[in-house]
Structure 1
Amino acid sequence: MNADPAPAEPGRPARRDRTRRALLPPLAAWLLSNLVTWLVARASAAGDGSRVSYWSTGSRRRWDSEHYLSIARAGYEMFPCRERHPDFPDVMCGNVAWFPGYPMAVRALSATGLSYELSAAVVTEAALFGMFAVLWWLLGARLTPSTGLTLAIGAVFPGGIYLHAAFPIALGTLALLVCVAGVKRGSWGLAAAGGFVAASCHPVGAAAVVVMLLLSALFAWRRDTRPVRYAKAGLSAALAACGVLWAKWLMWQATGRWNAYEAIQASSYGQGGLREPFEEMRKAYDFPFSHWYTPEGHLPWLVEHGLAAHRTQFWLNAAFVLLVAVAAALRLVRDRRLAAEEWAALSLTAVVYLTPFFAGAEMSWYRNHAQMFVGLVLIKNLPRWVQALLLACCLAQYALLGAMFFAGVLV
């Protein structure tokens, strides 16, 4: 007679349920984001009537993508442009204006045999799924109308088209969220590790994470004495800043110059030092996306109406920052406190928003601001009708910005 089957472990169904609750909502948000992006790509036919192949790696790449891929392939280089291009202005050329975190991840994945282009797409999409997973954990991993709407807003976040592109935005934003998770868990090591990756991916992330970690002495590490809190905040900020030192060390190894990043920014892009932020905001508002390139021939409806969408993007980003602040205020009024992760998300959102205007980034503020995704940690505190209105506005702007990206208008 056959023996009776072994009884199932009592905790196994519960673990499966927890796994489903932890993974299914982030997976649904990631799939929704890809679905919306695919639909936008299909609606973005070029002026000659050709269609964008959403599934091609080429559709994910724009100007700076080629620099990130060149770093992944062969590392850094810097040279006078006239050495290779006699008719070029007397400025510096090379790829030292871009940070190494993302291209080094692409290089590591390419060791499996994948092409650099495909590796870049995989790193980006994996980081985007990770963003939704960490955000879901920060929201409490409990599906409610508010958390569901928050994930939906994340799927069509302002500037979020760059979360699918061969850019470091998704990986850097994931690192910021990991840093917030470290603050929530009281793990300064996890916060420092997330901060290091964020700082190595993008200058905006570097500024935001270092400022937030320094401020964390005021709102995090509550179980420790005051001197220990200051030590954890300072040490985690210092370790995060090492991401920038790593970037500069790689550039120095390749070019022999510690100031290679600053040199090419000043020579080729006219950047360096602090700017007057309100003047930079005015420039961003007056600088149309179509300044760089407008497709010839008949334009699809989305592309035609998106050419002036820099202004709606500007106001939507500003409104998002305001709503994050309102959400924090509502939480303070209702509960008389903000959790450590909410303070972290609030400070990161503010610094990410302001940094491009202090640095002067009239060509890229709209993609830099996509890292304000971390502010969704607070958006869950807003009334549902406000969340629904924000979702509708984000969806409309996502379609316009996405159409311009796939039409080649955006850089």
Structure 2
Amino acid sequence: MEPTEPTRSGRGDWRHSLLPPVVAWLLANLITWLVAKESVAGDGSRVAYWSTGGRHRWDSGHYLSIAKTGYEMFWCRERYANFPDVMCGNVAWFPGYPMSVRAVSATGLSYELSAVVVTEVSLFGMFAVLWWLLGARLTWATGLTLAIGTVFPGGIYFHAVFPIATGTLALLLCIVGVKRGSWGIAAAGGFVATSCHPVGAVAVGMLLLSALFAWPGDTRPIRFAKAGSAAALAGCGVLWAKWLMWQATGHWDAYEIIQRASYGQGGLRQPFGEMTKAYDFPFSDWYRPEGHLPWLVEHSLAAHRNQLWLNIAFVLLVLAAAAVQLIRNRRLEIEEWAALIVTVEIFWLPFFAGAEMSWYRNHAQMFVGLVLVRRMSPWVQVPMLVACAIQYAFLGAMFFAGVLV
């Protein structure tokens, strides 16, 4: 049975529109807590999951510092005598998520707790918007799709002090705007996505291409005008980030300076070479925890390699689902075109940019591809769910053990 458009009235509608996303969000947290519990010895599971510190990893500190005091850039040796003579600061991270954290902290919550609130509200929003895009009707196809979302590859970062959930929600809202023919929603979603993370730039590419598959009922010039202007406004998220950095440092190119000087990044990379480097990165040697390791952690220290294979399989299955729909029906729905484009862009972008140590959390934003997973046979969805659940446990163990950055 194919999903239908969300109903607007009628008895029991709340069960279709609200209950499944709520259940998915609760299950996602329950599963993540169980993984945390099995990843830390003794009573450490409470620290690992129920405290804000358990959701904090390397870049989290930079996002929190932006929320608290804004941007800064300085030579490392000015503050740390034994540090290499490179540039330090927090201008390598975008402001969309930290500014949301700052806004929530105005309620009196700590910055750390505000960050977790923003993350978890964004995750619930992801499930709610995805459910709407699936038609808000519970079938085997849509139910299994939501289930896969609860253990989505790399989804451990949907619970962390990172902008991954917020950026993914923004991408989904951008797709909603394109589906509804709402130029404003599409542009706003794209703006938030690009202001949260460089991966959000995929929204600009999708919006430009939307002139070819969206905005039905408009003439060709109007379609191109809507697509181009929405893409331009979405790209303003990057300009906002650079303006804030300039205000704080006096450099319009502060982001590029620190990426080049301190992280050796900048320009395009050879993607297959970067993929190989990412696959071979020795997490287990660099960040291996000391002392006795729980079974799950001990067997997860190279789980990023399985993650890459799973992500490749996911992209190929999404492409196959789209191809089958085109062959059978000679068309894709507007939201399916949008999700397909964004998913493929997200997969390749980290390897073109050289994200050797962070591609797995960038790839988590391929969550938008679940829009097409509903088209797959249960014979594909069920094995996908099992594979994702197993891998979620292993990658989650890497995260809570402090192996992932």
Q: Smaller-chain TM-score range?
A: over 0.9
Q: Is the 8 A contact 2:37 2:44 kept in 1?
A: no
2:340 matched to which residue of 1? 346
Task: After TM superposition, give the deviation of residue 287 of structure 1 in Å.
Answer: 1.0
CA distance in 2, matches of 1:51, 1:127: 23
Q: Is the 8 A contact 1:179 1:192 kept in 2?
A: yes
Q: What is the 5 A alignment of 1:12-411?
A: 14=9, 17-46=12-41, 50-53=44-47, 54-206=49-201, 208-411=202-405
**Normalising by structure 2, what TM-score?**
0.96
Q: Is the 8 A contact 1:330 1:381 kept in 2?
A: no
Q: Is the 8 A contact 1:44 1:52 kept in 2?
A: no
CA distance in 2, matches of 1:218, 1:142: 29
Summarize deviations over 1:181-232 as a string: whole Å, max 9, x none: 00110111110000000000000112x1011001001110121000000000
Summarize deviations over 1:327-368 as a string: whole Å, max 9, x none: 101111221100111000000001100000000011000000
Q: Runs of 4+ in structure 1 displaced over 3 angstroms? A: 13-16, 48-52
CA distance in 2, matches of 1:15, 1:59: 43
Task: After TM superposition, give the deviation of residue 39 of structure 1 in Å.
Answer: 0.4
SS in 2 for 1:43: helix
2:4 matched to which residue of 1? none
**Normalising by structure 1, what TM-score?**
0.95
SS in 1 for 2:288: coil
Q: Is the 8 A contact 1:348 1:374 kept in 2?
A: yes
Paired residue type of 1:197:
V
Task: After TM superposition, give the deviation of residue 21 of structure 1 in Å.
Answer: 1.3
Larger radius of gyration: 1
- Aligned pair count reads 397
Task: After TM superposition, give the deviation of residue 65 of structure 1 in Å.
Answer: 0.3
Q: Is the 8 A contact 1:289 1:309 kept in 2?
A: no
CA distance in 2, matches of 1:88, 1:135: 45
Question: Which range moves more in the overlay, 360-369 or 52-61?
Answer: 52-61
Q: Is the 8 A contact 1:327 1:382 kept in 2?
A: yes
CA distance in 2, matches of 1:188, 1:276: 35
Paired residue type of 1:266:
R
CA distance in 2, matches of 1:144, 1:326: 21
CA distance in 2, matches of 1:27, 1:292: 38
Task: After TM superposition, give the deviation of residue 16 of structure 1 in Å.
Answer: 5.9
Task: After TM superposition, give the deviation of residue 303 of structure 1 in Å.
Answer: 0.7
Task: After TM superposition, give the deviation of residue 289 of structure 1 in Å.
Answer: 2.9
Q: Is the 8 A contact 1:80 1:90 kept in 2?
A: yes
Task: After TM superposition, give the deviation of residue 291 of structure 1 in Å.
Answer: 4.2
CA distance in 2, matches of 1:97, 1:290: 26
Task: After TM superposition, give the deviation of residue 17 of structure 1 in Å.
Answer: 2.2
SS in 2 for 1:332: helix
Distance 1:55 1:16, change over 3 A: farther
Task: After TM superposition, give the deviation of residue 19 of structure 1 in Å.
Answer: 2.5
Task: After TM superposition, give the deviation of residue 20 of structure 1 in Å.
Answer: 2.6
SS in 2 for 1:93: strand
Q: Is the 8 A contact 1:45 1:52 kept in 2?
A: no
Gap runs ≥5 in structure 2: 1-7
Q: Is the 8 A contact 1:251 1:260 kept in 2?
A: yes
Task: After TM superposition, give the deviation of residue 50 of structure 1 in Å.
Answer: 4.1
CA distance in 1, matches of 2:318, 2:115: 31
SS in 1 for 2:399: helix
Distance 1:198 1:137, change over 3 A: same
Gap runs ≥5 in structure 1: 1-12
CA distance in 2, matches of 1:134, 1:295: 38
Paired residue type of 1:188:
W
Q: Is the 8 A contact 1:288 1:310 kept in 2?
A: no
CA distance in 2, matches of 1:87, 1:391: 48
Distance 1:75 1:291, change over 3 A: farther
Summarize deviations over 1:42-86 as a string: whole Å, max 9, x none: 00115x884452111111110000000000000000000000011
Distance 1:391 1:255, change over 3 A: same
Paired residue type of 1:43:
E
Paired residue type of 1:293:
Y
Q: Identity, % of aligned pairs? A: 75
Task: After TM superposition, give the deviation of residue 388 of structure 1 in Å.
Answer: 0.4
Backbone CA RMSD of aligned residues: 1.2
Summarize deviations over 1:134-185 as a string: whole Å, max 9, x none: 0000000000001000000000000000000000000000000000000110
CA distance in 1, matches of 2:286, 2:114: 28
